[in-house]
Amino acid sequence: MERGVTVEDIARVVYDMQAEYNDTLSMDDCYESVDRVLEKREIQHAILVGVELDKLAENNQLSQPLQQIVESDEGLFGIDETIGLGAVFGYGSIAVTTYGHLDKQKIGIIKRLDTKVVDGVHTFLDDIVASIAANASGRIAHRQRDHDEHLEDEKRKRRDEEDLLS
Ligand SMILES: [Ca+2]
**At how many degrees (to 10) do helices 125-148 and 79-86 cross?**
30
Report CA(8)–ligand 1 centroid distance (Å): 20
pLDDT of the residue at 31: 97
Q: What CA–CA distance (Å, rounded) separates 78 from 100?
A: 13
Report CA(109)–ligand 1 centroid distance (Å): 13
Report CA(130)–ligand 1 centroid distance (Å): 10
CA 157, chain centre distance (Å) = 25
Domain 7-165: state its class. Answer: mainly alpha
Report CA(114)–ligand 1 centroid distance (Å): 7
* Nearest C-alpha neighbor of 88 from the set 38, 140, 15, 138: 138
Report CA(68)–ligand 1 centroid distance (Å): 14
Report CA(76)–ligand 1 centroid distance (Å): 10
Stronger pLDDT, 12 or 78, i.e. the higher one: 12
| Residue 131: band (very low, low, confident or very high) from pLDDT cuts 50, 70, 90 | very high
Domain boundaries, the chain: 7-165
pLDDT single digits (tens) 25-45: 999 999 999 999 999 998 999
pLDDT single digits (tens) 85-130: 999 988 889 999 999 999 999 999 999 998 877 789 999 999 999 9
Contact 30, 15 (CB under 8 A): yes
Q: What CA–CA distance (Å, rounded) separates 164 from 116?
A: 35
